[in-house]
Amino acid sequence: MRIEWSEPAMLDMAALRDYIASDAPARATFFIQRLFDHIDALHTFPELGRVVPEVDVANIRELVFQGYRIIYRLSPQRIDILTVLHGSRDLGNPNNRPWEA
């Protein structure tokens, strides 16, 4: 199954990399690569993630990786990565749902 990245998700990844790199550049590269590897499992197991509880829509799912939530939309032809955010962010707040903008 094909994985597509939304612009907000790409910006999230860049911001996360920059944040980690400000203290540990080598760690940032390692962390981001591991996060991509985690997401790659969706190619084989697209329903690996759980339904996002705050949204409760069957095709809006999430993977969790070391405290970060990877929110994605599952459709028959592809997976859209919608956002990557820290687990402490409140998805109950519609302002934290870039896919609804």
User: Which domains, and CATH codes, for the chain?
Assistant: 2-95 (3.30.2310.20)
For residues 12-40, average pLDDT:
95
pTM of the full structure: 0.89
67-96 per-position pLDDT tens digit: 999 999 999 999 999 999 998 887 777 777
Q: Given this model, what pLDDT does residue 26 score?
A: 92
Q: Given this model, what pLDDT does residue 101 score?
A: 53
Q: Is the pLDDT of residue 97 over 90?
A: no
For residues 9-38, average pLDDT:
95
67 HSE (CA, 13 A, CB side)? 4
